[in-house]
Chain A
Amino acid sequence: MRIKELDHLIEESFGSEPDFLIPDDFAKKIMNELVRRTQWKADLVEYFNITSFLIFLLTIVAVTYYFANKDTVIQVITLISRNLLQTIFIFLLVNFIFFADRVLLRFLFNRWRIKE
């Protein structure tokens, strides 16, 4: 009988609330993190969409121009192939500036704002 009472007391203790402390603004922190992550994804998707659209537009213009004025297009291609390294460098630089503007700076700003 007394063992049963002890068992009951132990079971009661098993169900008693442990003192794990979680801050009151826990839900707010999760919302901030959620916003930061979804914003980062949305920015990245926007960047890829705009870049793809610009490349697509450039291709359309080049193809149209090729039929209208073939010589100019060939000249441009020759110029690029002769200065391939410089062209790649300029392309990467412009791309990075665009990426920083659309994604990186926003991401860093959001992080800083949440920390503040």
Chain B
Amino acid sequence: MDDHELIRQILNGNMNCFTFLVNRYRKLVVHITGRLIQRRDEIEDVSQEVFLKVYQNLSKYRNDCKLSTWIATIAYNSACNHMRKYKKYDETIPDDSSILGSLKEFKTTEYEQIDFHRYIRDQIELLPVQYRTVITLFHLDEFSYNEIEQITGMAEGTVKSYLFRAKVILREKLKFIVDENSLKMVKEISNEN
């Protein structure tokens, strides 16, 4: 069932279709709220609130963007409001040198034990909220630059810059593994996992 038909059915009072919509977009919402809020005990509550807002405002949805973009916008705004409410939202421009210092080391001796993807995911959680947001929307949920601009209100150039800087910071942290053997080993471990 396509999104247009799904919305029509929900607006006609078909609650099973709303359950279907929740299941279709729950990953998207949980990615955004999870990466922004980071507190596992609050993710479910905020995600639930997002879907309730989706239901209440569904009649206001116009087809000027994809349904996923519209839902992501609600999720992003809800997560930001939640963070502002608890004064956890740092809206200042990130300072890359201090971020680099706050990341954990990737120890070469632990190659066998550490899942590389898991290591990177843990480091994403240590990045500033702006970086986490654009990484999640661009790489995980595969939104375009234009869609990320619609969702977050950040200019396209800013989104590109944040993505680039996040990658540079992690590359800097992992530069030491860029020799033939280390990189090969990391790739092998990543493929195994």
Contact = CB atoms under 8 A, between A and B. Distances in A.
Nearest to A38: B55
A3 B171 contact: yes
Contacts of A14: 120, 124, 135, 138-140
A9 B189 CA distance: 11
B186 A7 contact: no
Interface string A2-26: 1101110111111111111111001
B15 to A, nearest CB: 7
Indicate the size class of the contact surface on chain B. 35 or more
A22 B31 contact: no
Given A6-B178, A34-B55, A16 B187 contact: no
Interface string B160-182: 00000001001100110111100
B139 A15 contact: yes
A13 B121 CA distance: 7
B11 interface: no
Contacts, number: 92
A68 interface: no
A30 B140 contact: no
A29 interface: yes
17 contacts: A2-B183, A13-B116, A13-B119, A14-B120, A14-B124, A16-B120, A17-B140, A18-B121, A20-B40, A22-B43, A26-B22, A26-B47, A27-B22, A30-B51, A31-B15, A31-B19, A37-B52
Contacts of B22: 26-27, 30
A45 B192 CA distance: 59
A46 interface: no
Nearest to B140: A15
Contacts of A16: 117, 120-121
A29 B48 contact: yes
Given A9-B187, A18-B31, A27 B167 contact: no
Given A18-B140, A23-B44, A26-B47, 18 more contacts: A9-B187, A10-B170, A10-B171, A13-B119, A13-B121, A15-B140, A16-B117, A18-B121, A20-B34, A20-B40, A20-B43, A22-B26, A22-B44, A26-B22, A26-B26, A28-B19, A30-B48, A34-B52
Nearest to A5: B183
A115 B30 CA distance: 23
A101 interface: no
A71 interface: no
Nearest to A14: B139
B23 interface: yes
B139 A7 contact: no
